[in-house]
Amino acid sequence: MRVKSSRALKGALVLAVLAAGCTALPWSPSPPPPARVNQSGFSVGFRQGYADGCGSADARGQRRDENRYKTETDYQMGWNDGYSACQRR
């Protein structure tokens, strides 16, 4: 009789540990997205460069208008800032 109650107690203990282990920490499949940046005081060229740079940081292909990057300082600065801010570390 004592063997059955010991097995039942061990079984209940194992189930309790498994259940507690599954709910102890939430699972996160990916890091949270970067915080939104207020770009209201920046030029359109900077904002477009920022969006392209941020899109390039986690994409396989680079999104950059090479002509604008070479000729427009605002676009170039925006692209560099967006790429740096959105790059996974």
Into how many domains does the chain fold? 1
In this prediction, residues 42-62 reach a mean pLDDT of 86
On whether the CB atoms of residues 65 and 58 are closer than 8 A, the answer is no
Angstrom distance (rounded) from CA 68 to CA 49: 9
The answer as to whether 46 is a domain residue is: yes
The answer as to whether 33 is a domain residue is: no
Smallest CA-to-CA distance from 47 within 22, 20, 15, 72 is with 72
The answer as to whether 14 is a domain residue is: yes
> According to the model, what pLDDT value does residue 9 have?
72
Q: What is the pLDDT of residues 65-81, one digit of tens each?
A: 999 999 999 999 999 99
At residue 35, does pLDDT exceed 80? no
At residue 33, does pLDDT exceed 80? no
> According to the model, what pLDDT value does residue 29 have?
46
The answer as to whether 9 is a domain residue is: yes
